[in-house]
Each structure stands twice: as C-alpha cells, then as structure tokens.
Amino acid sequence: MIKSMTGFGRGEYADDKRGVVVEIRAVNHRYSDINVKMPRRYSFAEEPIKALVKNVAPRGKIDVSIMVDSVGEDETNVRLNLPVAKQYHDNLMRLKRELNLHGEVSLSLLAGMPDVIRAVAEVEDEQAILKSLSEPVIQAVENLDAMRMEEGAKLTEDILYRGELIAEIAGEVEEYAPGVVETYAAKMKDRIAELLGNGSAVPEDRILLEAAVFADKSNITEELVRLKSHIAQLRSIIATAREPVGKKLDFLVQEMNREANTMGSKANDIAITNRVLNLKSEIEKIREQIQNIE
C-alpha cells in the first residue's frame, strides 16, 4: 500500500509512577531523519524509541515529542544508619569523659550528624521505564501510520487519475502525428508551385524527399511507446506496492518527463506542442505528489 510521509500520531500511558504523552509529527524528507525530544533522564531510551519509529516509517523527517508527568517516580526512602549513629554516640561520650564536659548526647544532636539519617531516592529499573515509554510510542506510531495510509490512498487516487490524463493526451498526439507530415508536404507543394509560377510542374520527387526528412526529424513514435510503457509501470508499481516505492516512482516520473521534453523538441506543429505542454503539466503534478510518498 502506498503511504504518505506526512502524518500525526498520539499515544498515552499512565501508571502509579508516571503519565506519558507521545506526539509524533512526520513530513516528507529524502532520507530518514528521526528526532526525539524528551526529559534528559530518559536519554537511555532514545535509540530503542527511534528503532520503534523507523520500523514503521523508514523515510521522512519525524519529530517525536515525549512528555512525562511524574506521579511517584521520585519517591525517597528515609534510612537510618545505626552503626554510624552508634559510633557518633560512643565517640561523643568518650569526648565528654576525657575532657570532663557537661551536657547530654541527645537525640537531636545525633540525628543532625552527617549520614546518620539519609533520604535515598528510589531507583527504578530502566527496563520498566522503557516499557512505560514504549507503549505510548507504539500507539502513536500506529496512529501515525493509519493517517499516512489514509493520505497515501488519496495521493494514489490523484496520481492514477493524472496517469489516465497523460495516457489520453498521448493517444491524441499519436492520432494527430501522421497528419502533420501530410500537412507539411501539402504546404511545401503549394509553396513550390507559387515560387515556380506559370503552371510549371511541381517536382514530386523533391517534395517526397523533403517530406521524408521532415518525417524522420519529427518522428515521436519511440517516445510515445516509452511514455506508454512508463504509464503502465506506474500503475503496476502502485498496484503491487508492499514496501516504500517513492524513489521508484520519482525515477519513473523523471523518465516520463524526459520523453515529453524530447517530443516537445521534435514537435513542428502547434497542436502537438500544446498537447506536449499539457503532458508536462500533468507529469509535474504527479512529481509533486510523489515527493510526499514514502
């Protein structure tokens, strides 16, 4: 199926530790360019997230925005270091005895000593965090892909429609082309007769020779055959697409444009020239649409 490179997808996830919102925006680009914006503390998850996105969208400029609202993620545990507290107590009591000091070794004094009571942040396993980030990313990617397929279907419809127009115009050129040589020969005969005057016989062999040379120079049969072949290939690629085909279609349209240019340079008739201009116009419209195809 043909997919557009343009789209948007959103995904959400929530548990007792965090809420996560993921938004993915994609636009056309010649290569793959994935940018992930999220809190720095989750930077370890950047490459796995890029891989999830690229698996579904191998081409395009894609911006992934991950917003995290922590609920209880930064919970801290208050821990008592009893051995350290005992050492402080014993040393303070010894100090009191040795120096014959007065006063009590109180709870408030011991609690204020370094490392007796510490607040320790709970460290969550990275795999658990990655799971909570990956789920909304996958959801967003699926929504993005659905939009890209929908847009791709519209692009396909337009491209096939313009392919039919090109085929029709090419058919008109093919029907009209033989008459161009006949018209040229008739005009040449009239011109020679006018120049000779006095009812002199017009040299038919000379007219035939000139007409043959003209016909050879203006012959566009090969270009029409190749153009028809390219149109058939265009339909076939679209009908059988199971993987990204944007680059194939882009190359094919370049070839179609090449044939149209050659026909235009050979054209010696205003009617054919006008039709070739119409051909090129439709080919350009297809080319513009293909720039958005993956």
Is 155 contained in some domain? yes
Same domain? 134 vs 101: no
> Do 22 and 104 fall into the same domain?
no
* Helix 246-266 vs helix 221-239: crossing angle, to nearest 10: 160
Residue 238: is its pLDDT beyond 70? yes
pLDDT reported for residue 107: 87
Q: Is residue 117 part of a domain?
A: yes
Helix (H) or strand (E) holding 290: helix 270-290
Domain boundary among 85, 102, 121: 121
Residue 60: left if φ>0, alpha if ψ -120 to 50, beta else—which one?
Answer: left
The 10s digit of each residue's pLDDT in 153-190 is 999 999 999 999 999 999 998 887 776 656 656 666 66
pLDDT digits (tens, 9 = 90+) for 72-115: 555 567 888 899 889 988 988 888 888 888 888 888 888 888 98
In the predicted model, what is the mean pLDDT of the chain?
86
pLDDT exceeds 60 at position 68: yes
In a domain, 162, yes or no: yes
CATH number of the domain enclosing 189: 1.20.140
Structurally, the chain folds into a number of domains equal to 3
At 25-64, the pLDDT tens digits run 999 998 999 999 999 989 999 999 999 999 999 999 999 9
**Is the residue at 2 inside a domain?**
no
Which residue range forms the structural domain that includes residue 112? 76-121
Judgement on whether residues 107 and 58 belong to the same structural domain of the protein = no
Together in a domain, 282 and 221: yes
Judgement on whether residues 136 and 91 belong to the same structural domain of the protein? no
Instruction: Kindly indicate the confidence band of residue 249, based on its pLDDT and cuts at 50, 70 and 90.
Output: very high
CA distance 257 to 262: 9
CA distances (Å), 7 to each of 28, 144, 229, in order? 9, 6, 32
For residue 183, is it within any domain? yes
